[in-house]
Chains A and B, each alone.
Chain A
């Protein structure tokens, strides 16, 4: 019996199969390495081109036609105002919608439509939201063009489905025994949700919100549609002033012919990536610190 297995032919076949195994494994490792290498090259290129441009003047200045005096503060302030509007609209609406769908919605056709529509909205290309913003907020409602108000409203519509989906998951993760206990001592259903379920689900909801906001912060295409590409040399004073946002500033500078703007663009990208990294860091911290495994 052992002879069959130890024959030279069998050994050769086995060696071939093991070689194939090693090859397959190497291909897997290689594809990860290639992906990560691409990331490394991208980050390195931006760092190499941009690190020299990161000065205090650059961080505190506003857009200018001269590469050496242009700065990002105007765009950063525009981004902050836009994000403020987005957060103020999408967070309450997203959380309330998540509560309704998870805790109170009757199981009927209407609720199903709401769910389908939320899931689809999460996958609609961002430029379509820009078209919606242009058609409704600007051409129909005549809100001020290229303002953080309209930009924030457009991005809020885009961010809300993300918050609803993560909010529902967080609420679903709260065990039913919490609800039963609250109801058993006489709390009304609304009290149960707002006093007990929501506080326990909040870390999860916040994590989802931050991730949604990070995505909105990096978004350019929908804002192009509503005209946030104006040349703005002074930081916006309020949410109805014309303004630019950080990704839009990157896009505008990338079009400039003056080679001095290569440094500016890369430096602005570093600023944007630092913001995103910080937001994601906070999200991960929140998740690790407050997440409870029931």
Chain B
């Protein structure tokens, strides 16, 4: 509440400052060359000085305020009522915080209700102090900048320097995200490995994540196998031939009109959300696979099967493989194709003997990218592959994957720092490293391949 008012006030001050500075600069204009910068830039200069320091101060105050409020309430006489044990005290206080924020919230501890009122008062008082502080800072910054609005003042250069800083900041977000992913995964994985040996994790053949006291096993090999079997074997058996042949047909045989119509329709397959594929796999494909397994003489096959998940995943990947194959075939010089055709080879012979071998490195790289996408896919396996961690080559068996287990371990009630929850981050790290390596290698291959024909 107060936060919104303060932010609105700062913003309003900024707008007022912008107009004031611009009109002051306009009055300074006496003819060509009399002003260094356009009046608008003076406006921006003042507005930035008004808004930026005040916002930084307000954000900093928000960060330290809870600590100040808590110190203040512990200094009050009412604090004597608090339990002396640290943990109980923290519980009462956190409940009181909830009540202070939302009076309608349920409270289990009568003591918390008593604390809510003074807590709310203190919080209000401290946020008023912070708000006044921020507004004073805004005024001070604005006044300082306003006095500098003179005809010779380079307001444009100063404003543009801020803009450049903003641009740099935005591009840093990408690197910060990468660092954030690596650090958070490494940190949680480190906690996990301090309780479970990494060798057991990477080579163990038995997976049953429970609490350590109940004799949990964190051998992830069955998960790796399930991931590879579904994502890199079954899905690729579907996606590579269909994707490759679609690309061949679209680029080599189809008329331009047919290509223009068929290609976007094929791309729709890539745009359908994975949860829809997952539902389709569970609703339609999985029962069909089960019936087929029954026909093949398996008794009592499970509804969830590696084959159902892998098939649907393969179809999802088709447009991806197809467009990668398309790109790499387009990179093969026309002269090679023409040469083969001129020697009297038919078109299919040219494609099989000249075009595909020449495009092979690009296609292999495309397949690697497709594999990295397939093993990171979550919803299809969550909805259709099952939870049983087993080492089996039977496509009709239910099988589990790394992504499925991450979802299982982290949804529902969870306590942090139990090896069960932490193991999800270790699995995430393995997944991250594998997809990263696949991507880097694939991009290298593509780059070298492009250079070969340039």
Whether A254 contacts B167 by the Cβ 8 Å rule is: no
Whether A221 contacts B271 by the Cβ 8 Å rule is: no
Tell me, yes or no, whether B378 is within 8 Å of chain A by CB: yes
Q: Which of B177, B376, B425 contacts A125 (CB 8 A)?
A: B376
| 4 nearest CB pairs, A to B | A125-B376, A218-B273, A28-B249, A96-B170
Within 8 A of A (CB), among B259-290: 262, 265-266, 268-269, 271-280, 282-284
In whole angstroms, what is the CA distance A93 to B253 when docked?
43
Distance from A108 Cβ to chain B, minimum over Cβ atoms (Å)? 13
Tell me, yes or no, whether B163 is within 8 Å of chain A by CB: yes
Distance from B257 Cβ to chain A, minimum over Cβ atoms (Å)? 15
Tell me which of B178, B243, B250 has the highest count of chain A C-beta atoms within 10 A of its own C-beta. B178
Distance from A165 Cβ to chain B, minimum over Cβ atoms (Å)? 11
Whether B348 contacts A93 by the Cβ 8 Å rule is: no
Stretch from A17-25, A57-65, A66-74, A201-209 that touches the partner: A17-25
Whether B184 contacts A190 by the Cβ 8 Å rule is: no
Whether B273 contacts A45 by the Cβ 8 Å rule is: no
Distance from B323 Cβ to chain A, minimum over Cβ atoms (Å)? 13
Q: Which of A31, A225, A251 contacts B379 (CB 8 A)?
A: A251
Q: Mark A232-263, 1 if CB is under 8 A from B, else 0.
A: 00000000000000010011001000000010
Q: Mark B148-182, 1 if CB is under 8 A from A, else 0.
A: 00000000100010011011111111110110110
In whole angstroms, what is the CA distance A45 to B177 when docked?
39
In whole angstroms, what is the CA distance A266 to B377 when docked?
21
Residues in chain B near residue A45, CB distance under 8 A: 280, 283-284
Tell me, yes or no, whether A118 is within 8 Å of chain B by CB: yes
Residues in chain B near residue A131, CB distance under 8 A: 181, 184-185, 406, 410, 424-425, 428
In whole angstroms, what is the CA distance A269 to B246 when docked?
27
Within 8 A of B (CB), among A210-227: 214-215, 217-221, 224-225, 227
Residues of chain A whose beta carbon lies under 8 Å from any beta carbon of chain B:
17-18, 20-21, 23-25, 27-32, 34-36, 38-39, 41-42, 45-46, 49, 92-94, 96-97, 99-101, 104-105, 113-114, 117-121, 123-129, 131-132, 134-136, 139, 157, 160-161, 164, 188, 190, 194, 214-215, 217-221, 224-225, 227, 229, 247, 250-251, 254, 262, 265-266, 269, 272-273, 276, 280
Whether A35 contacts B425 by the Cβ 8 Å rule is: no
Distance from B220 Cβ to chain A, minimum over Cβ atoms (Å)? 16
Whether A21 contacts B275 by the Cβ 8 Å rule is: no
Whether B406 contacts A127 by the Cβ 8 Å rule is: yes
Q: Which residue of A lies closest to B157 (CB)?
A: A188
Tell me, yes or no, whether B347 is within 8 Å of chain A by CB: yes
Whether B272 contacts A42 by the Cβ 8 Å rule is: yes
Whether A100 contacts B431 by the Cβ 8 Å rule is: no
Q: Which of A119, A126, A139, A280 contacts B271 (CB 8 A)?
A: A280
Tell me, yes or no, whether B407 is within 8 Å of chain A by CB: yes
Whether A132 contacts B174 by the Cβ 8 Å rule is: no
Residues in chain B near residue A265, CB distance under 8 A: 279
Tell me, yes or no, whether B123 is within 8 Å of chain A by CB: no
Distance from B312 Cβ to chain A, minimum over Cβ atoms (Å)? 9
Q: Which residue of B lies closest to A40 (CB)?
A: B265
Q: Which of B184, B271, B277, B425 contacts A214 (CB 8 A)?
A: B271
Whether B175 contacts A114 by the Cβ 8 Å rule is: yes
Distance from A205 Cβ to chain B, minimum over Cβ atoms (Å)? 14
Q: Which residue of A lies closest to B379 (CB)?
A: A220
Tell me, yes or no, whether B242 is within 8 Å of chain A by CB: yes
Residues in chain B near residue A266, CB distance under 8 A: 279
Whether B166 contacts A96 by the Cβ 8 Å rule is: yes
Whether A119 contacts B443 by the Cβ 8 Å rule is: yes
Whether B249 contacts A114 by the Cβ 8 Å rule is: no
Known: A31-B241, A35-B242, A188-B160. A128 touches B181 (CB 8 A): yes
Residues in chain B near residue A123, CB distance under 8 A: 369, 372-373, 435, 439
Tell me which of B174, B242, B265, B268 has the highest count of chain A C-beta atoms within 10 A of its own C-beta. B174
In whole angstroms, what is the CA distance A114 to B172 when docked?
7
Residues in chain A near residue B432, CB distance under 8 A: 124-125, 128
**Number of B residues with CB within 8 Å of any CB on chain A:** 84
Please name 13 further chain A to chain B contacts, defined as beta carbons within 8 Å, in addition to the given A190-B163, A251-B382, A262-B283, sorted by A numbering. Answer: A35-B242, A100-B167, A104-B164, A124-B376, A124-B432, A127-B403, A131-B184, A131-B424, A131-B428, A135-B185, A164-B174, A224-B410, A254-B279
Residues in chain A near residue B173, CB distance under 8 A: 93, 97, 157, 160
Known: A20-B346, A131-B185, A131-B424. A93 touches B406 (CB 8 A): no
Within 8 A of A (CB), among B296-328: 315, 318
Residues in chain A near residue B163, CB distance under 8 A: 190, 194
Whether B164 contacts A190 by the Cβ 8 Å rule is: yes
Q: Which of A17, A97, A104, A272 contacts B273 (CB 8 A)?
A: A272
Q: Which residue of A lies closest to B156 (CB)?
A: A188
Residues in chain A near residue B275, CB distance under 8 A: 218, 220, 247, 250-251, 254
Q: Which of A92, A100, A229 contacts B171 (CB 8 A)?
A: A100
Residues in chain B near residue A24, CB distance under 8 A: 348, 351-352
Whether A32 contacts B407 by the Cβ 8 Å rule is: no
In whole angstroms, what is the CA distance A289 to B168 when docked?
32
In whole angstroms, what is the CA distance A127 to B435 when docked?
12
Tell me, yes or no, whether B349 is within 8 Å of chain A by CB: yes
Tell me, yes or no, whether B453 is within 8 Å of chain A by CB: no
Distance from A52 Cβ to chain B, minimum over Cβ atoms (Å)? 16
In whole angstroms, what is the CA distance A96 to B276 when docked?
34
Whether A229 contacts B411 by the Cβ 8 Å rule is: yes
* Interface pairs (10), CB distance under 8 Å: A20-B346, A31-B242, A42-B280, A101-B171, A128-B181, A135-B185, A220-B273, A220-B379, A227-B411, A272-B276
Residues in chain B near residue A124, CB distance under 8 A: 181, 376, 432, 435-436
Whether B167 contacts A92 by the Cβ 8 Å rule is: no
In whole angstroms, what is the CA distance A118 to B160 when docked?
25
